[in-house]
Amino acid sequence: MAPVGPRSGDAIFANMERVNAELFTLTYGATVRQLLTDLEEVDEVNKQLDQMGYNIGIRLVDEFLAKSNVSRCVDFKETAEVIAKVGFKMFLGVTASVTNWDADGTCCSIVLEDNPLVDFVELPDTCQGLYYCNILSGVIRGALEMVSNTSSFAQPSIPSFLWDVSLKTEVTWIRDVLRGDDAYELQVKLVKQVPEEYPYKDDE
Amino acid sequence: MIGVGKIKQYSNVLDKPLSKGKQEVSLSAFAFLFSELVQYNQTQVDNIAELERRLEDAGYAVGARVLELLCHRDKGNRRETRLLGILSFVHSTVWKVLFGKVADSLEKGTEHEDEYMISEKELLVNRFISIPKDMGTFNCGAFVAGIVRGVLDSAGFPAVVTAHFVPVEGQQRPRTTILIKFAEEVLLTFNPFIIANCILILDSPSAKGITHSLGFMS
């Protein structure tokens, strides 16, 4: 099988245009605060953050494939590694690791060593149900769902992983430092692989 | 488990050492987030003015925190108490930290004494944004205007801050000007007559307490 491309996203991140993480952190904080004011219910905020993440994920995958030079992944295992090692590094400048695989290789955990979203953050008692970083789970879910769609119009020279399969996943938080845990752990569960239908219609 | 050892736990966010502010994320990550912020706010409003106000509010929250953070980290818990001082703090220090460069220009309004303008050829938040025709003069720079207002207001210089596109000759894209109109009391504080009075008061025995409160207000 072809190599998966870079083993880490360091070089790619170094070539990306970058901004101060504090601008990013504070802007995210302002977003969450606005959602809490508007929606009032913590559950609704979780949902909205996930939706925003999903919207980002389905767009971000284009840039990821174009800039990462990642070639086709053979299985979900490799895909998860690429997300953790290349994806997180490339966009957020942090690395994540993949652990806790289940026996059939369809469910794993992505553990974040560092998380730029949560600087300066402490959850007040009223927000204990809040998954502050829920946007991340949405991003992963969205990106995996769009994997194939992107490859259909990417230049042929860019090898992409899983050409004709869309990955439906469920992403849930297992551990969250803001809630008193010792790390950030996202469980990514592959629910099904949906073969894409050809040919693509122009209006899709 | 991998990675676990690297995250230290603090019972309180204030116990955590303050980062040096050197960490970076990709511009794309910020642009994606900002785009979601704008799109979400679009669903919450009926008109452009409201949308700008909401973006400004979001920015205000950032600005208030940026002031606190920078004063604490970079200025040894001191902050500017003079009008020009705080303006140049915004134009250089704040801009440099948030956007990686000093703002292109800081000018005083020619028609009004109380107006100042910070201009930027290509405002970071507007990099990937084009405004649909039907949205008229809407400028996502409202977010940055909010940041500026947040900094100024929290430092004791209340102002109305707005973002405007200004066409530039020979350039396809207009530049963004952040217009700062200070509240009346801000300029009064710098009225020479009042300052003269302050000096008189400062000479009096109870000066210490008063300097304190003056420092807080100005």
ipTM of the complex: 0.87
Query: Cα separation of A109 and A184, whole Å?
Result: 10
For residue B95, the tally of other CB atoms under 10 A from its CB is 22
List of chain B residues whose C-beta atoms are within 8 Å of the C-beta of residue A30: 37, 58-59, 61-62
pLDDT of residue A141: 94
pLDDT at B25 over 60: yes
List of chain B residues whose C-beta atoms are within 8 Å of the C-beta of residue A13: 26
Query: How near does any CA of chain B get to the CA of A164, in Å?
Result: 26
Q: Is B37 in the A-facing interface, judged by CB distances under 8 Å? A: yes
Segment A65-109, tens digit of pLDDT: 888 887 777 788 888 999 999 999 999 999 999 999 999 889 999
A121 vs B13, B54, B69: nearest CB: B13
Residue A128 one-letter amino acid = Q
Segment A32-55, tens digit of pLDDT: 999 999 999 999 999 999 999 999
CATH C-level class of B27-182: alpha beta
Q: Cβ separation of A56 and B1 shorter than 8 Å?
A: no
Q: Is B182 in the A-facing interface, judged by CB distances under 8 Å? A: no
Q: Which CATH superfamily is domain A20-195 in?
A: Trafficking protein particle complex subunit 3 (3.30.1380.20)
Query: Cα separation of A194 and B7, whole Å?
Result: 37
**A vs B: CB pairs below 8 A:** 139
Q: Cβ separation of A93 and B24 shorter than 8 Å?
A: yes
Percent of chain A with pLDDT over 70: 82
A113: which 2 tokens?
A: 């060593």
| Section A178-201 average pLDDT | 80
pLDDT at B201 over 80: no
Query: Cα separation of A100 and B197, whole Å?
Result: 71
Q: Cβ separation of B98 and A135 shorter than 8 Å?
A: no
Positive or negative, the CA dihedral B208, B209, B215, B218 is negative
Q: Cβ separation of A114 and B2 shorter than 8 Å?
A: no
Locate the chain B residue with the closest alpha carbon to A95. B3
pLDDT of residue A155: 42
Could you state, in order of their start, the residue ranges of all structural domains in chain B? Answer: 27-182, 184-218
SS3 B99: helix
A56 vs B1, B12, B32: nearest CB: B32
Segment B111-157, tens digit of pLDDT: 898 999 999 999 999 989 888 888 888 999 999 999 999 999 999 99
DSSP A161: S
pLDDT of residue B190: 57
